[in-house]
Amino acid sequence: MAIKLIVGLGNPGAEYAATRHNAGFWLVDQLATDGKIMLRHDSKFHGLCGRVNIAGHDVWLLQPQTFMNRSGLSVVALAQFYKILPDEILVVHDELDMLPGLAKLKQGGGHGGHNGLRDIQSHLGTPNYWRLRVGIGHPGNKNEVANYVLKPPRKEEQEQIDNALIKCLIVLPKMVAGQSGAAMSLLHTDESKKREHKPALANSESVNKAS
């Protein structure tokens, strides 16, 4: 199944822009930059959105502006409006249970305590959407998690996360084209480290809707 909507999770506002919890925003920002579009606010969808062409497929990009624990409101609004099914949605999010530098694709499963995923699953009524998990590491103490995710990564961690995002950009054309097995195989090996990142997007179209 081809991907028609890529959602980056994060919190809106300059004070959160560089924090670990915004790793999903970072990837969608890069997709928009590569595609030479500007994400525009649409009040119907409670978020910033734009449309790009990846590997010959039109794909919506979305950054919910509802804060993390209400992300599902934005996702389901856009998905229902454009008749996008749950298994045509890819949600990009930070992952505590993976080290910085790692990224993995999966479909379905639990929310693992991630408030954004929890709300998306609640609104969609199913866990059967795709997730692109970007490792940010764990503070080691569950009582420190809330503070940890709302802080910027250390310099070396940021470099590792950036490398993981490059790997994600390399495999996204396969994922968008419905080649999930090939995308997962490539991402979950070291093969993509050997490839130079090139913009994955072409023929992009920005969306400017009244907010």
Residue 71 belongs to a domain: yes
The number of folded domains in the chain is 1
Residue 106 belongs to a domain: yes
How do residues 16-37 score in pLDDT, each as one tens digit? 999 999 999 999 999 999 999 9
Residue 66 belongs to a domain: yes
How do residues 85-129 score in pLDDT, each as one tens digit? 999 999 999 999 999 999 999 999 999 889 999 999 999 999 999
How do residues 136-170 score in pLDDT, each as one tens digit? 999 999 999 999 999 999 999 999 999 999 999 99
Residue 21 belongs to a domain: yes
Does the structure show a pLDDT above 50 at 174? Answer: yes
| Sign of the CA dihedral running 107, 21, 63, 32 | negative
* Distance of alpha carbon 109 from alpha carbon 89, whole angstroms: 14
Percent of the chain residues past pLDDT 70, beyond the cut: 90
* Distance of alpha carbon 43 from alpha carbon 103, whole angstroms: 31
- What is the chain's length? 211
Query: Hey, which residues does 171 pair with through a beta bridge?
Result: none
* Distance of alpha carbon 30 from alpha carbon 199, whole angstroms: 9
Residue 111 belongs to a domain: yes
Nearest to 1 by CA among 155, 77, 107: 107
Active-site option among 21, 46, 93, 123: 21
Residue 211 belongs to a domain: no
21 is catalytic: yes
Residue 174 belongs to a domain: yes
CATH code at position 101: 3.40.50.1470
Amino acid occupying residue 119: D
Does the structure show a pLDDT above 50 at 210? Answer: no
Centroid of chain to Cα 181: 18
Q: Taking a C-beta distance cutoff of 8 angstroms, is the pair 73, 123 a contact?
A: yes
The pLDDT, as a whole number, for residue 190 is: 58
Give the pLDDT mean for 187-208.
51
Residue 150 belongs to a domain: yes
Domain that holds residue 187: 5-205
How do residues 130-145 score in pLDDT, each as one tens digit? 999 999 999 999 999 9
